[in-house]
Chains A and B, each alone.
Chain A
Amino acid sequence: MKEFYKNISDALSMLDGLEQDLNIRHLTPNELKVFYTIIIRSYQNNNGSNISDIVENSGMSRSTVYKTLKKLSAEGIIHLSQSDEDGRESLVLLNS
């Protein structure tokens, strides 16, 4: 069994190298967690989710969430818009 997992680990290392060279991986595991939370929230709420919800659901710190949102927004993956109900609140929307 140990040998089996070792072989699988070698295969994953190979894929990891490929991913790195293709420059696919540009999000850290924490950033990915925030990103996946945004995806899940966007399925639940079509009008966009507020940042507090994302902080709460991702389990990440507010600063990590803000940094990730900035990065995703700069890459055109999401966009931030002002809430109609509360002008101080920003809503996160996935770009289609």
Chain B
Amino acid sequence: MKNFFYLTLTSFIFSSILWILWHFLDTHAFFLAGKGAFFYLPHAARVLCVVYFGYRAIPGVYLGELAGPYVITPDMYAFSTLIPSFISVISVAFAIALLNSLGLTLGHTRSSPLNKRNYKHIFLITFISACFNALVVNLYLSRNNLSFSNAITDIEQVYRFFIGDILGTVIVFIFLATLLLPLLRQARIQ
């Protein structure tokens, strides 16, 4: 129970921070403004939390996904993001389940077909989940005649979602590897 509380809190904070950072860059960074769809940072939170904490991280990530559009900028989307956000969060679980059904079970040893400690395997999960997210969320939006402001729900949006999720995750991973790891090493030395 204590573990569930910690992982939910960590997932929620991580997801919220990435959403706020992404929103800030999308609206305020002069050369990135309006191009947020091409570097959707919060997808990294979905991938990292669901891969490392398991399916139990889904509520925390989901709450983090909702906190931004509902608490920080309530008028950002003209439609309810409850279902699209849920589809996005379970996209990672879907990717893991799909790979699992193909015999590629997720573990953390060298002999595991999918190794949590190997970033290439995590990128494979990112790729499949981005694909699922782009297709299913846009299918839902299209079926319900919903669209983002100044955008049409079409194949271009599917492409933007797909590229955005992958690029966003890669950016966060590189950021964490270049900044977080040296800081942790430095803290360990001290």
Contacts and interface: CB of A to CB of B under 8 A. Distances in A.
Interface of A: 1, 3-4, 7-8, 10-19, 21-22, 24-25, 29-30, 32-33, 36
Contacts of A10: 52, 108, 116-117
A35 to B, nearest CB: 9
A22 B177 contact: yes
Given A1-B6, A7-B52, A32 B119 contact: no
Interface in B138-190: 173-174, 176-178, 180-182, 184-186, 188-189
B111 interface: no
Interface of B: 2-3, 6-7, 10, 48, 52-53, 108, 116-119, 122, 173-174, 176-178, 180-182, 184-186, 188-189
Nearest to B54: A7
B185 A19 contact: no
Contact of A33 (B108, B118, B186): B186
Prevailing SS type, chain B contact patch: helix
24 contacts: A1-B2, A1-B6, A4-B7, A7-B52, A8-B52, A10-B117, A11-B116, A12-B184, A13-B116, A14-B117, A14-B118, A15-B119, A17-B117, A18-B119, A18-B174, A18-B177, A24-B177, A24-B178, A25-B181, A29-B185, A30-B189, A32-B185, A32-B189, A36-B186
B119 A33 contact: no
